[in-house]
Structure 1
Amino acid sequence: MIGKQNKNANFFDSYVFDNLLPKKHILLDIKKEIDFSFVEEEVRDLYDTKNGRPAYPPEVLFKMLFLEFYYNLSDVEVVRECQVNILYRYFIDLSIDEECTFRYNACRVQKEVRQ
């Protein structure tokens, strides 16, 4: 079952992101120019629609894999960075108060993508 992402930023998220993010950064440009919604369509057939709990949103996992590739990070490092790096949290559409517990899922997705 594909998990859905809550993209409604609350007031606190908006305040933090507006005031703490750099004005110019490559990740901001990528987020603005690329619509990552295609990811869900591409992987829809890999998910069972009737059984299991909702998975983490594929778009978030894809963006984390992008960060791994772009910054040459390991699975553990990208999760750690997404826990503390506000720019990364903004890029992957993770709210300030959400936990980043994607380590296992990121590893599994990488394995499935490689097949």
Structure 2
Amino acid sequence: MPIRLIISYFLMGTGSAFAVVTVLGLLRFPDVYTRIHAGAVVLTISAVLVTMGTAIYVWNFFLSAKIVLIGIFFLFSNPMATHAIARASYKRQIALPKEYEIDAYSDYLGRDD
């Protein structure tokens, strides 16, 4: 088996393991904000690893370049989308935990208490 196939299988397997960790984080974390954090950070790493492994597996320049561009798109779009979701849910007070005593972000957003 060529070394590039071993590397690609390793990257895709590692990305799949990170995806499983993302699912566990989404199921186990208590509130919407920590769940969004699990979805943003770990799923972004997972998507980039899987696309890198796929690009190495294909081993065609133009097709690999397209796959790498998809990975770069994941790298930029997923954190921005989860930030927008977190900000909108905070602004609308969706699932705001009661144990937060200091909320410095509400003055910045102008949210009414």
TM over 0.5, shorter chain: no
**Larger RCO of the pair (alpha carbons < 8 Å, separation 6+):** 1
Calculate the TM-score normalised by the size of structure 1.
Answer: 0.26
Calculate the TM-score normalised by the size of structure 2.
Answer: 0.26
